[in-house]
Structure 1
Amino acid sequence: MGMDFHAEENQSSYIGRTADESWRQAMKAIVQPEGKRVIDIGCGGGIYSKAWVEMGAALVIGADFSEVMLKAAWENCHQDPHIKLIRRAAHATGLDSGSMDIVFARALIHHLPELDPFMEEAYRLLAPGGLCIIQDRTMTDVLMPASPTHFRGYFLEKFPQLLAKEAKRRPEDQAVREALQKNGFEQVAATSLWEVRRRYERWEELEQDLLARTGRSILHELSDEELQILVTYIGEKVAHETSIEEQDHWTIWIGIKK
């Protein structure tokens, strides 16, 4: 099946939460955002576009290829004068060369058929000294064991056929490093992050979020019946918790344009 990012029924899939402090601290360990010009490529509902502004960025351009996603981002961000939204592909933003200080791409590259066009565009957009920051999951991240805080592990535990889908789309660490270097980036490095995705006061909030497949494109690979089976299975693991914290494991790659 797969998620259709152009379908109106998925418009609210990537809004309804804020970027957690765990993510903000990880970004601040990489770069000081104050006064920076940021492009958030594959911005979805603009959750992280807003976060960059809240951390002090002077300008954030949220770019996405989906008009439906941009409608959600507009609802989320239109009151902030520091955020501009544009409908553009990751490899062709149409912005001026050297106009950005940070290129940020969260959960984008696993959707791309190839890395080089995006990397080339990221390098072109950056001013000298600018940073490309890519956040995505490798198979190492995907295969982190299930736990009462790592719900994605339960997805694969209950429906191991999802592994084949993940294996096809997840980037390899070395491939991302090589693509960054090939396209001119220097001091290429990678780190990992347990990011708190969201906190839930009770099981019913999480249950509703899962059944709506909110922000979890992999769940679109399951039928409604399979999804209900999965949610029941996760409920058996975590419903007794008085408060629930959901975490995801990510790899973050950094490259500098000299």
Structure 2
Amino acid sequence: MPAIDFHDESNRSTYARREADKSWGALIRSLVDPAGKRVADVGCGGGVYSTAWLDLGADTVTAVDFSAAMLSGARERCRGRDRLTFVQGEACATGLPDGSVDIVFERALVHHLTDLPAAFREAKRLLSPGGHLIVQDRTFDDVLRPASPSHLRGYFFDAFPALLTIERARRPTTADITTAIRTAGLTPVRTRTLTEVRRTYADADDVRQDLMARTGRSVLHHLDDDQLRRLADHVTHELRGLFPVREEDTWTVWTARA
């Protein structure tokens, strides 16, 4: 199976079905004061974090994504929210004006990109003097945690080791990202680790439905439907008797300033 097609309308809501965890907001506030800031959420997906920035007090948020389908799902999810604008554009060419934002936020984006320096040069162009770039993504070490009720992704690799090979190939290292940010002229580069609650599952059916929908999990698009059913069987078998289950994601967060 190929990787997820972000332009397919059937995937328009896959990244729009959750809320940002409070642990994310606490980390952001430790990095920057969001109050009154202009934010560009580049690679916004379903708009979950676009609205989260508004909830933290941002003055305006411009949600940018290269996919019209993703933006359609985000607009639907964010209907009625003020001070939020949607723009179709590439991470390396957003089309936004020079120096137009105080914060560029890129979550779960960079592992999909082939030219990190170009993306970070675009971020620098968008930032006002002293503005912040915040990049949140998972390194290979972040996804390599052992399988457990809090780390369901580990069960994916137990059942289908080929997925681990895919993850290894697509995940940039901390050194890759740090070097690319510095090459773009942003300094200093600092890293933090974030453990973010992804979702709490009430029972096995809850987990199965989430997995079968491939909700917010691009790696699962490399499995066909039969493989996905087998994976759901494996994961729910491993979780028997343990519900409710709280799944957590480990992230690395890089910050730098213009």
Instruction: Place the TM-score, normalised by the shorter chain, in its bin.
Output: over 0.9
Contact 2:13–2:74 (Cα < 8 Å) also in 1? no
SS for the counterpart of 1:13 is: coil
Aligned counterparts of 1:48 and 1:203: Cα–Cα separation in 2: 27
Aligned counterparts of 1:183 and 1:156: Cα–Cα separation in 2: 35
Shift, 1:239, TM fit: 3.6
Shift, 1:171, TM fit: 0.6
Deviation track 1:168-209 (CA, whole Å, cap 9, x = no partner) reads: 111111010011111111121111111111122222122101
Number of equivalenced pairs = 257
Residue identity opposite 2:231 in structure 1: L
Aligned counterparts of 2:248 and 2:168: Cα–Cα separation in 1: 21
2:39 is aligned to 38
1:203 is aligned to 204
1:6 is aligned to 7
- The alignment-based identity, stated in percent, is 46
Aligned counterparts of 1:142 and 1:197: Cα–Cα separation in 2: 14
Contact 2:118–2:184 (Cα < 8 Å) also in 1? no
Contact 1:99–1:127 (Cα < 8 Å) also in 2? yes
SS for the counterpart of 1:14 is: coil
Aligned counterparts of 1:200 and 1:232: Cα–Cα separation in 2: 15
- For the pair 1:71 / 2:72, whether they are aligned, the reply is yes
1:16 is aligned to 17
Relative distance call for 1:69 and 1:27 in structure 2 (3 A) is same
SS for the counterpart of 1:240 is: coil
Aligned counterparts of 1:192 and 1:146: Cα–Cα separation in 2: 19
2:170 is aligned to 169
Shift, 1:86, TM fit: 0.5
- Unaligned stretches of 5+ residues in structure 1: none
Aligned counterparts of 2:17 and 2:180: Cα–Cα separation in 1: 33
Contact 1:203–1:244 (Cα < 8 Å) also in 2? no
Aligned counterparts of 1:233 and 1:30: Cα–Cα separation in 2: 39
SS for the counterpart of 1:251 is: strand
2:160 is aligned to 159
Residue identity opposite 1:159 in structure 2: F
CA RMSD, 1 decimal: 1.0
Aligned counterparts of 2:21 and 2:7: Cα–Cα separation in 1: 27
TM-score, structure 1 normalization: 0.97
Poorly superposed stretches of 4+, deviation over 3 Å: none
- Unaligned stretches of 5+ residues in structure 2: none
Aligned counterparts of 1:147 and 1:245: Cα–Cα separation in 2: 10
Contact 2:4–2:218 (Cα < 8 Å) also in 1? yes
1:146 is aligned to 147
Aligned counterparts of 1:98 and 1:173: Cα–Cα separation in 2: 27
TM-score, structure 2 normalization: 0.97
Aligned counterparts of 1:32 and 1:144: Cα–Cα separation in 2: 31
